[in-house]
Amino acid sequence: MMHSMVRTEHRADLLCSAIDKVGSPLCVGIDPVVSKLPPELAPLSALEGFKAFTEGVIAAVAGIAAAVKFQSACFERYGAEGVKLLGILRSQAADAGLVVILDAKRGDIGITAEHYAASAIVDGPCDWVTVNPYLGWDSILPFLEAGLGVFCLVRTSNPSGDVIQKQKLTDGRTVAESIADLLAKKGEQFVGETGWSNLGVVVGATKPQEAISLRSRMPHQIFLMPGIGVQGGQAKDVVPCFADGHGALIPASRSVIYPTPTSDWQTDIANAATKLASALQVGANE
Amino acid sequence: MMHSMVRTEHRADLLCSAIDKVGSPLCVGIDPVVSKLPPELAPLSALEGFKAFTEGVIAAVAGIAAAVKFQSACFERYGAEGVKLLGILRSQAADAGLVVILDAKRGDIGITAEHYAASAIVDGPCDWVTVNPYLGWDSILPFLEAGLGVFCLVRTSNPSGDVIQKQKLTDGRTVAESIADLLAKKGEQFVGETGWSNLGVVVGATKPQEAISLRSRMPHQIFLMPGIGVQGGQAKDVVPCFADGHGALIPASRSVIYPTPTSDWQTDIANAATKLASALQVGANE
């Protein structure tokens, strides 16, 4: 397991290379919940079911998706045993050639952020983490200094985020835009050979006009764009955020890992991933 | 352990009662790091050391402090084993009569927030959690619905938080003030018999003038006020945030759990807690 934990390539370059390899910016979100697991796994305990399911998802999407994004909360709700399993599954995803994103949205300052950065790689590998900007730059930098790629929340796909993110500042910008400008500037020092920074951002695919505007503010930030599929975003909405097939990573969870059953569940998942990867490939090449 | 996990009292009422019992709004922050543990514990492994140390802190401050605040990151950096220990120690703190705060600053939406709320009580009890408001109300409500008290970040004690929190909106408020107004309104439905809400807030003690202004915006919110001690805040700075001895909880970590050694470490910690509790008692009664 240790060999996977010490990957030292520039994280944005690594992600671009993974996208090139599969020919699509698809990221499969792994958000296991007991009630949605395939019926065949029902006899298992929750965590045994998560393990069998996630192993099946990894096998089904490796070579189709560039990355997987683990929803930490789904595992944390089962306490220490869930956290342990999450580390094991991250390891398996990395071994299958997938870039590993830990969606934990941590946000704390200084030494505490250092602890969180350490926690992202202690039980298994991790390439990128999601973080929250509300405490400012000193809650973000420690993750970058630990060698991780960072997707910092800027403009989220949920409606209730408007209450902060869409507020207008006296200088004419929204709060989200002001954070975008800060991150664009701070992220310059973390740009790799591909021109993309290890400091990326979360920008919802459900707000395509805002995404285009944010792209112009953040030319070197990779966009992690949730909201495709169940939340209503469409593949065409994310097209303007790409440059030469890079610059955006499109996570899809429910629409890929819980497809309408037609065959065995792993085949269904592979088919759903292939279909979405293909739709996004068009986007990436435009 | 289970008996502690199903405490159903109103969380703000429970906290007020704990403050009354010890006569002080002191909350001891438990942020263990190996390099700062007492020398006697050096032969132990990190987590064995954390266990012995935290058990010593709990024994030393029970009856002096109203609450303990566990810094989740300090334990998470040791992976699943650290998370497991954190649950055990929360249980011990609750059994010692201390209100248990889990400082994890989670922030995610809807079902994911529900998972995080579940995670706060799975391996041990928890009365209050800290949360981040950047994703809006649907990232906060699930914690309250799970029966937990919530301290939502509004104005933090670290300088770099200014970059968002202090930004001026076109309506004349700062971002922090606009969140304060939202929380004051949303928190009304969670007010208990004491007049305080289960929806509390984090307001740094390092910004006393802003704290006074925020107090007037949030009459029913209990303030969790970090920043006393090492960060430069003083006991007198938090006085205006109290009403009848309630309404604020003052966490202190380094200044209490890592005091200058003069006697055995548990006695030193008890003395540091007693001294600070006494200073804050004056504050509470003014």
User: Rounded to whole angstroms, how far apart are CA atoms A121 and A127?
Assistant: 9
- Asked whether residue A286 carries a pLDDT value surpassing 50, the answer given is no
Our CA-based measurement puts residue A104 at a distance from the nearest CA of chain B, in whole angstroms, of 8
Taking each helix axis as running N to C, give the angle between helix A46-61 and helix A265-285, from 0 to 180 degrees, rounded to the nearest 10.
50
Residue A132 and residue B136: Cβ atoms within 8 Å?
no
CB A170 within 8 A of CB B169: yes
Half-sphere exposure of residue B148, counting CA atoms within 13 Å on the CB side? Answer: 29
- Asked whether residue A100 carries a pLDDT value surpassing 90, the answer given is yes
User: Rounded to whole angstroms, how far apart are CA atoms A126 and A70?
Assistant: 10
For chain B, which ranges sit under pLDDT 50? 1-4, 283-286
Catalytically active residues of B, by annotation? 105
Residue B72 Cα distances to A4, A44, A198, B117, angstroms: 25, 30, 26, 14
Indicate the SS3 state at residue A23: coil
Whether the predicted model's global pTM rises above the 0.90 cut? yes
Quote the radius of gyration of chain A (alpha carbons, Å): 18
Residue A83 and residue B78: Cβ atoms within 8 Å?
no
Average pLDDT, chain A: 94
Cβ atoms within 10 Å of A35's Cβ, excluding its own: 5
- Beta bridge partners, B165, equal none
Interval B97-146: pLDDT, tens: 999 999 999 999 999 999 999 999 999 999 999 999 999 999 999 999 99
Residues 43-102 of B with CB under 8 A from A: 71, 73-74, 76-84, 87
Interval A221-272: pLDDT, tens: 999 999 988 778 888 889 899 988 899 999 999 999 999 999 999 999 999 9
Our CA-based measurement puts residue A117 at a distance from the nearest CA of chain B, in whole angstroms, of 8
Instruction: For chain A, list the strands marked E by DSSP.
Output: 26-30, 67-71, 99-106, 128-131, 149-155, 199-203, 223-224, 248-252
Sketch out chain A's domains with CATH numbers: 2-277 (3.20.20.70)
First-residue to last-residue Cα distance in chain B: 39
| Structural element, H or E, at residue B69 | strand B67-71
Q: Give me the pLDDT at residue A7, please.
A: 63
Which residues of B fall within a CB distance of 8 Å from A159?
136, 138
pLDDT band of residue A285 (cuts 50, 70, 90) is very low
Residue with tokens 């952020």: A113
Please provide residue B248's backbone torsions phi and psi, each rounded to the nearest 5 degrees.
-150, 150
Q: Give me the pLDDT at residue B231, please.
A: 79
Any long-range contacts for B231-237 (C-beta under 8 Å, 24+ apart)?
A: B231/B157, B231/B204, B231/B205, B231/B206, B232/B206, B233/B157, B233/B204, B233/B205, B233/B206, B233/B208, B234/B205, B235/B276, B235/B279, B235/B280, B235/B282, B235/B283, B236/B283, B237/B205, B237/B206, B237/B208, B237/B211
Residue B134 and residue A164: Cβ atoms within 8 Å?
yes
Residue B137 and residue A163: Cβ atoms within 8 Å?
yes
Q: List the one residue out of B117, B94, B19, B69 whose CA is nearest residue B226.
A: B69
Taking each helix axis as running N to C, give the angle between helix A175-186 and helix A208-217, from 0 to 180 degrees, rounded to the nearest 10.
40
User: Rounded to whole angstroms, how far apart are CA atoms A247 and A28?
Assistant: 17
Q: Give me the pLDDT at residue A20, please.
A: 96
Sign for the pseudo-dihedral over CA of A27, A31, A32, A34: negative
Residue with tokens 């909350």: B27
User: Rounded to whole angstroms, how far apart are CA atoms B253 and B271?
Assistant: 14
**Percentage of chain A exceeding pLDDT 70:** 96
Q: Give me the pLDDT at residue B282, please.
A: 56
